[in-house]
């Protein structure tokens, strides 16, 4: 044996120039027996003889590997929440499940979203369907994933207060093998499928993927101006002069502002002039009715409904008389 072992080493050294071996997706299944038997035929005087060698066996252990990828090619628009999609792939050679964590605090983020839900996209529609898609508690594990199999994972993220329009934020989903993780080569004895040993692979048993969301919010700005017309044809703020107030609302941002109201109070020392309320030059009755505008001695209120960012400016005017 000793002699042939030295032969072996020389054979191995001779093959050092061999090109690296092909790469396989997940490899032969954990628990597989690799058995090698050689046979030989030869002639010796009497005739041909066949002999068999012994059989050597090696058991394939479980390799723990995982890959995670964000599936949203571009940031997902969030008006209040965004649903991000990720794939979690078992790139090991045995069934495994993976603990999931979603981290909204990625360096460079304009804001940190609030992770509301992590779920398996059971019906694979890219949307979180409560009651259909199986939720995974924070730090909880996926169902078992077969070797080379993937699960589509959804992460529902809410915009925080303070996020502004067009800001983006990344969310990192990390999947960690439920069997174990650590330095490549770490062995978890007997923890593999069927009781074989499990060995941590090059992924270190954990992997992360990124997706991002972009805030889509509306921004409203108001500009108020006043024009004075005194009883003498001038513009002096004297008693009896009429002041026309103009409030211009402009709408920016990529989102839609819902239920917009423009309100103002009648300044002290002035009196609202009945039936002078108007929106974009069209009169609005003072009474609370279908036209959305109301006015009284205390103030005005004009409902603009839902207004998309980028819409044309809205101009509200009303008149008061200086007492």
Partner 1 sequence: MNRFFVALAASAIAMTSAPAFAGAGSVSLTSDVKIDKVVVENGKETHFLTAPQKVVPGDKLVFTTQYRNNGGAPVDSFVVTNPLPAGVAYIAEAGDGPLISVDGGKTWGALKALTVADGKGGTRPAQDTDVTHVRWSIPVIAPGASGSVSYHATVR
d(CA 126, CA 117): 14
16 binds partner 1 per the rule CB under 8 A: yes
Report the residue from 2, 44, 259, 323 that binds partner 1 according to the rule CB under 8 A: 44
Report the residue from 9, 132, 146, 283 that binds partner 1 according to the rule CB under 8 A: 9
Judged by CB under 8 A, the number of residues near partner 1 is: 59
Angle subtended at Cα 265 by Cα 259 and Cα 270, rounded to the nearest 5 degrees: 150
Q: Draw the binding track, 88-127, toward partner 1 (x: CB under 8 A; -: no contact).
A: -----x----------------------------------
- Applying CB under 8 A, which part among 43-51, 66-74, 244-252, 289-297 lies near partner 1? 43-51
SS3 6: helix
312 binds partner 1 per the rule CB under 8 A: no
- Beta-carbon count within 10 A of 279 CB: 18
Task: Report the nearest approach of partner 1 to the CB of residue 92 (Å).
Answer: 9
Longest dimension (CA), the chain: 141
Q: Draw the binding track, 54-73, toward partner 1 (x: CB under 8 A; -: no contact).
A: xxxxxxxxxx----------
The token duo for 249 is 């609302």
37 binds partner 1 per the rule CB under 8 A: yes
Residue 229: half-sphere exposure toward Cβ, Cα within 13 Å: 6
The token duo for 178 is 């439920």
SS3 12: helix
Task: Report the nearest approach of partner 1 to the CB of residue 160 (Å).
Answer: 44
27 binds partner 1 per the rule CB under 8 A: yes
77 binds partner 1 per the rule CB under 8 A: no
Angle subtended at Cα 259 by Cα 254 and Cα 262, rounded to the nearest 5 degrees: 100
CB contact at 8 A, 104 and 112: yes
12 binds partner 1 per the rule CB under 8 A: yes
- Dihedral-angle region of residue 47 (phi above 0 means left; psi in -120 to 50 means alpha; beta otherwise): left
d(CA 253, CA 256): 8
Report the residue from 46, 161, 290, 312 that binds partner 1 according to the rule CB under 8 A: 46
How long, in residues, is the chain?
Answer: 323
Report the residue from 71, 144, 187, 322 that binds partner 1 according to the rule CB under 8 A: 187
Report the residue from 26, 97, 176, 317 that binds partner 1 according to the rule CB under 8 A: 26
The site for partner 1 (CB under 8 A) is made up of 1, 4-5, 7-9, 11-19, 21-24, 26-28, 32-46, 48-49, 51-63, 93, 187, 195-197, 199, 201
């Amino acid at each position: 044996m000793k002699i042939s072992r030295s032969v072996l080493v020389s054979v191995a050294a001779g093959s050092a120039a061999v090109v690296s071996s092909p790469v396989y997706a997940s490899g032969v299944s954990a628990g597989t027996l690799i058995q090698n038997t050689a046979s030989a035929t030869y002639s010796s005087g009497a005739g041909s003889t066949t002999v068999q060698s012994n059989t050597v066996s090696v058991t394939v252990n479980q390799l723990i590997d995982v890959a995670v990828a964000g599936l949203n090619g571009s940031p997902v628009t969030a008006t209040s929440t965004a649903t991000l999609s990720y794939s979690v792939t078992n790139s090991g050679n045995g069934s495994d499940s993976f603990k999931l964590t979603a981290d909204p605090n990625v360096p460079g983020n304009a804001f940190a979203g609030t992770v509301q839900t992590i779920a398996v996209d059971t019906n694979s529609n890219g949307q979180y369907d409560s009651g259909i898609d199986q939720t995974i508690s924070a730090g909880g594990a996926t169902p078992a994933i077969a070797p080379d199999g993937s699960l589509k994972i959804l992460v529902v993220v809410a915009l925080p207060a303070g996020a502004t329009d067009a800001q983006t934020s990344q969310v990192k989903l990390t999947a960690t093998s439920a069997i174990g993780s650590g330095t490549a080569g770490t062995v978890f004895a007997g923890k593999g499928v069927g009781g074989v040993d499990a060995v941590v692979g090059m992924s270190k048993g954990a992997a992360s993927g990124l997706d991002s969301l972009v805030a889509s919010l509306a921004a409203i700005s108001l500009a108020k101006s006043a024009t004075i017309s005194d009883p003498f044809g001038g513009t002096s703020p004297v008693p009896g002069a009429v002041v026309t107030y103009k409030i211009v609302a402009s709408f920016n941002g990529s989102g839609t502002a819902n239920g917009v109201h423009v309100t103002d109070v009648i300044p002290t020392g002035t009196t609202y002039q009945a039936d002078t309320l108007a929106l974009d030059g069209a009169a609005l009755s003072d009474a609370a009715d279908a036209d959305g505008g109301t006015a009284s001695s205390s103030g005005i209120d004009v409902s603009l409904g839902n207004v998309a960012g980028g819409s044309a400016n809205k101009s509200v005017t009303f008149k008061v008389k200086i007492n």
